Amino acid sequence: MRRRLTDEKLCMKNQLLEKVDYKIEETPRGVWRSFMYPSGEYFTEYRSNTVLFGLPLVHFTRGKCPETGRRIVAKGIFALGRIAVGVVAVGQAAAGLVAFGQAGVGLLFCLAQACAGLIAFGQLAVGVHFGAGQVATGTTALGQFAVGKYVLAQLGAGQYLWTTQHSDPVAVQHFHELWVRISSLLH
């Protein structure tokens, strides 16, 4: 059974074709662009005036863009948003030299629930040099389940293991020296 479109539905405007009336706030450091939907949803974006290597120093996004109905990827030296890409990226999904988020890829460092990087900390941490997490990989790997060259784990696989079942002297020495180095940085 087909339903007929009412006159009200036929007269509705396509909001994506309408000019969006943003609230624009210019500050000495950058520009805020904001929009409040009739439903109460909120969109805001900030771009700093300072640009390095073609990227804004800071780019922040929140909510869905009223022009497209989609999220804008935050791209900047410091990128903050649901999806963020930058030198330092913070977001639910983040990628950069340094990344923080729920899912992240940090070329140098990553701290996320699921992450990958040269150094990775997360529930699932895929580290090249160092990984620490519930499940971890890396040359040095610490975790409940870990795989690497030097492994400290409940269950692990690697060349030098320190697990509940095995204590390789090379692994014990490696992790002792690592602890001494970390402790000296904290004092």
Between the alpha carbon of residue 171 and those of residues 141, 158, 164, the distances in Å are 11, 10, 13
Between the alpha carbon of residue 91 and those of residues 55, 82, 157, the distances in Å are 17, 5, 32
Q: Are the C-beta atoms of residues 47 and 56 closer than 8 Å to each other?
A: yes
Render pLDDT for 11-42 as a digit per residue (tens, 0 to 9).
Answer: 555 555 667 889 999 999 999 999 999 888 99
Residue 95: per-residue pLDDT:
97
The amino acid that residue 34 corresponds to is S
Q: Model pTM?
A: 0.81
Render pLDDT for 65-119 as a digit per residue (tens, 0 to 9).
Answer: 998 889 999 999 999 999 999 999 999 999 999 999 999 999 999 999 999 999 9
CA 42/CA 116 separation, integer angstroms: 32
